[in-house]
């Protein structure tokens, strides 16, 4: 089966071809234009998707070395995400499906991030836990099997990626903030500044990062760089506060569920300090890390999950709509 996947939920325009579980092409057009504004501008994102979609689709089909008529079905993200951005991808996908006379299946972006853990590997056993950490979401999921997911807990306010992005802005670094803070943190001492770690000792699986962001804002009000405390030290300390909270709740989730296979997903899952901390603190668990290219937004995870859905007999009627808000499940 050959499936074309389309992803436009935020600021990545991505198209991929998957055939029998193998990714034949994975094209991601990152909209660098948003770095001029220090964050994603929704209207700009929609216009960029509109500009790039046709070109990147042709590129994905060409680099997969298939003919457009060989495509059996289309998988497209319909939420959660930015409404205008989702609409561009969904409308494009519907048009293409009608033009080619093939079926379409709508995909939940968060489910696709989780299932990205299965890409290019067959050694993952159910059940497993997944810490989903992206720009818009921070959630801990229990994956019993495909299509059977339980949300164990999530953030009360900002997502971890958002905490990185907003923190980077406060520190005067670029966008997206995660990689920028990670770069500075390599040269800093993460123990130098004591930032708050909300819920770290609670017996509940929940996160909160808005207080951390405020405390960075206050700290920077009177901050003067010295040899004793550099911006790199502040970045490292801030990053470490985020990571400590994430890892503590992964640990708690393994205890509460007795599930010993753990994975991560979403853009923040790229962070090497997070990976090192998981390796160190959960060394007795079976740890799965997705390939770096499948952590941030991509369409490989969409085409792959789309193929699985088609194989399970799922398809979506053409009158489906976008679903910008997360509604407590992954359908």
Instruction: Tell me the C-alpha distance between 57 and 151, whole Å.
Output: 34
Within 59-78, the residues that bind ligand KG4 by CB under 6 A are none
> Beta 103-108 vs 73-79: how paired, if at all?
parallel
Q: With respect to ligand KG4, which residue has the nearer C-beta, 10 or 171?
A: 10
Q: How near is the Cβ of 163 to ligand KG4 at its closest, in Å?
A: 8
5, β-bridge pairs: 16, 75
Q: How many residues lie near Zn ion (CB under 5 A)?
A: 2
Q: How near is the Cβ of 151 to ligand KG4 at its closest, in Å?
A: 16
Within 208-267, the residues that bind ligand KG4 by CB under 6 A are 266-267
Residue with tokens 């903030």: 177
List CB contacts of 304: < 8 A, sequence separation 6 or more: 3, 5, 16, 18, 21, 23, 112, 115, 116, 118, 119
C-beta separation of 282 from 262 below 8 A: yes
> Beta 2-7 vs 12-19: how paired, if at all?
antiparallel
Write the CA distances from 305 to 70, 75, 165, 194, integer angstroms: 19, 8, 28, 41
What are the DSSP E strand ranges found in 266-321? 286-288
E strand or H helix at 261, and its extent? strand 261-265
Q: With respect to Zn ion, which residue has the nearer C-beta, 165 or 297?
A: 297
Residue 63: strand, helix, or coil: helix
Among 48, 182, 233, 307, binds ligand KG4 (CB under 6 A): 182
E strand or H helix at 237, and its extent? helix 231-257
Near ligand KG4 by CB under 6 A, which window of 52-60, 134-142, 200-208, 212-220? 134-142
Q: Contact between 197 and ligand KG4 (CB under 6 A)?
A: no
Q: Write each residue from 7 to 46 as x if it is in contact with ligand KG4 (CB under 6 A), else as -, in one continuous string.
A: ---x------------------------------------
Within 291-320, the residues that bind Zn ion by CB under 5 A are 297
Instruction: Tell me the C-alpha distance between 162 and 213, whole Å.
Output: 10
Q: How near is the Cβ of 177 to ligand KG4 at its closest, in Å?
A: 5
From ligand KG4, Zn ion, none, which one binds at residue 179 (CB under 5 to 8 Å depending on kind)? ligand KG4
> Beta 148-155 vs 206-207: how paired, if at all?
parallel
Q: Contact between 188 and ligand KG4 (CB under 6 A)?
A: no
Within 288-307, the residues that bind ligand KG4 by CB under 6 A are 296-297
Among 128, 141, 149, 164, binds ligand KG4 (CB under 6 A): 164
Q: How near is the Cβ of 167 to Zn ion at its closest, in Å?
A: 19
Q: Contact between 134 and ligand KG4 (CB under 6 A)?
A: yes
Write the CA distances from 183 to 27, 33, 178, 271, integer angstroms: 25, 21, 9, 10
Among 136, 153, 188, 290, binds ligand KG4 (CB under 6 A): 136
The binding site for Zn ion (CB under 5 A) comprises 134, 297
The binding site for ligand KG4 (CB under 6 A) comprises 10, 134-136, 161, 164-165, 176-179, 182, 266-268, 270-271, 296-297
């Amino acid at each position: 089966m050959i499936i074309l996947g389309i992803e436009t939920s935020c600021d990545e325009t991505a198209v991929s071809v998957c055939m029998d579980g193998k990714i034949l092409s994975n094209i991601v057009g990152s909209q660098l234009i948003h770095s001029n504004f220090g964050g994603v501008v929704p209207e700009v994102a929609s216009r960029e998707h509109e500009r790039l979609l046709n070109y990147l689709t042709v590129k994905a089909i060409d680099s997969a070395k298939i003919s457009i008529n060989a495509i059996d079905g289309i998988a497209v993200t319909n939420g959660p995400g930015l409404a205008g951005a989702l609409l561009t991808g969904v409308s494009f996908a519907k048009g293409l499906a009608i033009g080619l006379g093939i079926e379409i299946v709508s995909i939940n972006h968060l489910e696709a991030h989780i299932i990205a853990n299965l890409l290019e590997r067959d050694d993952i056993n159910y059940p497993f836990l997944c810490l989903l950490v992206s720009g818009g979401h921070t959630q801990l999921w229990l994956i019993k099997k495909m299509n059977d997911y339980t949300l164990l807990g999530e953030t009360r306010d900002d997502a971890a990626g958002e905490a990185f992005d907003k923190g980077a802005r406060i520190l005067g670094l670029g966008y997206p903030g995660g990689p920028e803070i990670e770069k500075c943190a390599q040269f800093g001492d993460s123990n130098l500044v004591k930032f708050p770690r909300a819920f770290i000792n609670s017996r509940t699986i929940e996160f909160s990062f808005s207080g951390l962001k405020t405390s960075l804002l206050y700290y920077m009000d009177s901050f003067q760089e010295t040899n004793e405390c550099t911006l790199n030290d502040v970045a490292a300390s801030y990053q470490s506060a985020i990571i400590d909270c994430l890892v503590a709740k992964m640990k708690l989730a393994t205890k509460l569920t007795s599930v010993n296979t753990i994975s991560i997903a979403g853009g923040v899952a790229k962070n090497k300090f997070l990976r090192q901390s998981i390796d160190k603190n959960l060394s007795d668990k079976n740890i799965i890390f997705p390939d770096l290219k499948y952590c941030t937004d991509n369409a490989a995870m969409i085409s792959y999950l789309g193929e699985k859905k088609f194989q399970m007999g799922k398809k979506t009627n053409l009158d489906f709509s976008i679903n910008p808000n997360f509604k407590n499940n992954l359908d």
